[in-house]
Amino acid sequence: MNINCINYKIVNSKTALKPIILQAILDLFKEGKQVMTLKMIRQRCILLDSKFPRTSHQAAIATSMRNAIKCGGRIIGENRDFNDFTISFEVNGNGLVIETPKKTLPKIESKKKEVASNTNEIVKKRKKTKPSINKIGEFSKIIEKYNLDKLKDDNRPKLLIIPCSKSKSPGGINTFSSIFNLNPNRTNSIIQYNNERIMNPNYFNNENRIGVNIVDVNYFNAAFNNILCKKAIDRYDSGGSIFYSTYNLKNLYLQKINNNKLHVLIISGLYGLLKYDDYIPDYHFEMKRNTIWTNQNDFSIRNEVDNYIVNNNIPEENVFYSLSKTGKYREALKPNHLWKSLWINNYGNGANLNSAEFIAQEFLTRL
């Protein structure tokens, strides 16, 4: 890859998304990733800018990927849904970046142009953004605020509430179970999901699953109706799920659950509330599409959590949750003021990853 070429394209981009996409490609390459899929690049774009579209603009990303390979790359794979559109860049025998471009880059005539070295500087020119947080400092604040160092001496049970994952793993076994099967809103939610599949089949077309050739509404119809189920914690552990796949989190949860020190509940866009080992089919229904749980007058998820706390003798001060301060999952939960938030705010940029890191490295290690 010719880094000078990529930087030139970033600085001189004329659209809002292109510099973010190109910066994502450059960052991935610098991390040693020579082969990049569209899906991989989109995930990095979301980390760079939380407002980057999560489910649309595949064509725009693919166009920028084609533009990027002019700086020393090539296309090695395509598919009709773009997500597996794949490009590759080369390095020389010593692992160093190839700096020789195929074409001579034009000189920048205007001295008034300010050269930005990365996308963050470009974004600052276009709109005012708040600075990134001191992550370690934020970790320390929460540890001190809740006196988390005393958790190991507290033999009472603890509860952690986390969001589900948009990314899911396919397959399963022919069984279904849920400890929360008496809530009438769950039935209404499933009805709303079925209506979505009928009325808006295109809503499902941008989804993908590892090992599944075609993922569209027919896949989700079959997955839901055939009821091939996995435990919720396995369903949401897909390799791209921040609160399950990063930092070995799924295994860390299970280790603490097996030691009887931790309970884990999951907020779901379709089911409302799940226990970690509830068996559920594969589906795609984002919380923002389901108005049942986020209705300000609906306390059904909160009531289920309250009942779970009572039935399992969990003290209110030992209830923790990691949900975005401004997100739909927290709106759905409507947390008790005694419960403790483990969310690491980063003005929306990287907050999910920081929060998952805090749970893995600071919270679970203290149980």
Dihedral-angle region of residue 320 (phi above 0 means left; psi in -120 to 50 means alpha; beta otherwise): beta
In tens, the pLDDT along 263-290 reads: 999 999 999 999 999 999 999 999 998 8
Query: What long-range pairs does 129-138 form, CB within 8 A, spacing at least 24?
Result: 129/347, 130/347, 132/346, 132/347, 132/349, 132/350, 133/344, 133/345, 133/346, 133/347, 133/354, 135/344, 135/346, 135/354, 135/357, 138/344, 138/345, 138/354
From the number of C-beta atoms within 10 Å of its C-beta (0-12, 13-18, 19+), residue 96 rates as exposed
Report the distance separating Cα 325 and Cα 165, nearest Å: 17
DSSP letters spanning 92-121: -TTSPBP---SSPPPP---TTPPPPSSHHH
Domain boundaries, given as residue ranges, for the chain: 3-126, 135-366
Report the distance separating Cα 258 and Cα 252, nearest Å: 10
Extract the residue ranges of the chain whose pLDDT is less than 70. 79-83, 92-133, 177-182, 347-349
The answer to whether the beta carbons of residues 298 and 292 sit under 8 Å apart is yes
pTM of the entire structure? 0.65
Calculate helix-pair angle for 3-11, 58-68, nearest 10 degrees.
Answer: 130
From the number of C-beta atoms within 10 Å of its C-beta (0-12, 13-18, 19+), residue 112 rates as exposed
Residue 104's identity, in one-letter code, is T
Strands in 86-89's sheet, in edge-to-edge order, are 35-37, 86-89, 73-77
Please name the residue ranges forming H helices in the chain: 3-11, 18-30, 38-48, 58-68, 119-126, 135-145, 184-199, 217-226, 232-235, 249-258, 291-294, 300-311, 328-333, 351-358
Report the distance separating Cα 61 and Cα 64, nearest Å: 5
